[in-house]
Chains A and B, each alone.
Chain A
């Protein structure tokens, strides 16, 4: 279903100010089909604000966001997820703590299986079959992410890294076209970093998911991303392959002098 040169996500002139501070200043960004794009920059460079403005969690002051050609600039977070199948994670990992891993994933898939809010109130046979389908899909993703042994434990009792995997598996439930990850490797142990990288690669290659990843770990960016964009003080500083970006003098100054 590739449609020539139309990007998955195309953002133009995105700007967001908080009082006198311009957190994001006229940033353009596009993600191609099947691409894993890295977004890096020092703390406070506007990466998270940029993320929030492009996913409907915050409203940009100006600029446009379009998803596969349709304008989604003022869509709400839930509509972007539901109708756009563009999902995002949060920097601080969030899961439904009291529910087990499988329930977490079933919830993640529900709005993509039921056609309307009203239909989710049904307990009829059709509804039960839909949920059964979701459970089956959830179990596959639980195996894929290696969460099998803890599938029926409350998510809140698992380690930070395991919770990241739950969050990631949840985003894969709806057969997404684009996933935006906010620091997926922050604070997890090195063994799990490998697993997360493998899963991202698998989703990208086998499921055709495109990615935008905010990441501080430059090794992760180098190994995953084909292209990276550097933000500094709300502006796009440079753009290129990870190697080019690392070699860039301005980038080094921004990180060291910032």
Chain B
């Protein structure tokens, strides 16, 4: 199968290797897009980049470890509220808030993960859904802190300071570049995690947990580690999101956020980094872009999902892999091991 992270490809020197040009072209598109696109489209791209962070975390759980968690939205919301509260009450800057959001999400994930990971399959899914519902209830009802449904407003735009010089991402174009850098960094961190020996153990757990156990892998510890790391990615995404849209509200715990993350990962291709990057752009851009026809938006979105699952049941990852193999001059029959 193509969606294993450990596959290797052999290239055929006969044909021209198109991989480098493709990568350069994509980089140029990524860097140049805001100069060409309108403000609204840039905004949609920022949202796509922000959602890539929790999606990486979800991909670690679903794609690499084989656990379906809906709790990513809870950690996203937690990170958002933590950052918003710190920004309002302590006046701390965006990088500090983001690190705090990541740390808090990881810390909270431990006591949530310990009972949750005793459950399997659908019970685990239900339990993680419970976390999101509890998160929403707290954000709605702990009014003295969260202001309930009114939410926390006017949160500072993300400011990054370095050696006396500071820069604020005050418009979508600037936010785009900030989000691009952070998303690239998060992707690099994610890549390191899944390429590490631990990443290999996570795949082993996904493939066959009992076999993994019998080979000395303490699967419970690894599943908890994956849950905690995923929470950190969720918290990071929430922090960036709240500083970008400058509002934290209980709406963040809505099903829409959970489903968006799920669609990015499952539609993009669970277990594939490029698939999920592609997924985040496609789905967020699609749902945001379809706003031009508000009355048809959700129907069109739903229809495109239907087409997706029938046409690409494994997500886009195998399709992208085929393009990549073709670009590298690899014949179809020997795509990957």
Which A residues lie at the B interface, using CB under 8 A? 55, 57, 76-79, 81-82, 87-90, 94-100, 103, 106-108, 110-112, 114, 117, 120-123, 127, 130-131, 152-154, 170, 174
Contact = CB atoms under 8 A, between A and B. Distances in A.
B216 A81 contact: yes
Contact of B208 (A94, A100, A114, A154): A94
A87 B4 CA distance: 26
B211 A94 contact: yes
Given A99-B6, A103-B6, A117-B221, A110 B200 contact: yes
Interface of B: 1, 4, 6, 8, 192-193, 195-198, 200-201, 203-204, 207-208, 210-219, 221-222, 225, 337
Determine chain B's interface SS by DSSP, over half rule. helix
Contact of A110 (B201, B207, B225): B201
A114 B215 contact: no
A96 B208 contact: yes
Nearest to B221: A117
A184 to B, nearest CB: 15
| Nearest 5 A/B pairs, CB to CB | A82-B216, A111-B216, A81-B216, A120-B198, A120-B197
B114 to A, nearest CB: 15
A95 B211 contact: yes
A81 B210 CA distance: 12
Given A103-B6, A127-B196, A111 B217 contact: yes
Contacts of B198: 117, 120-121
B8 A152 contact: yes
Nearest to A109: B215
B210 A107 contact: no
22 contacts: A55-B214, A57-B214, A76-B213, A78-B213, A78-B217, A79-B218, A81-B216, A82-B218, A94-B208, A95-B208, A99-B6, A99-B203, A103-B6, A111-B201, A111-B218, A117-B198, A117-B222, A120-B196, A121-B197, A123-B192, A127-B196, A153-B337
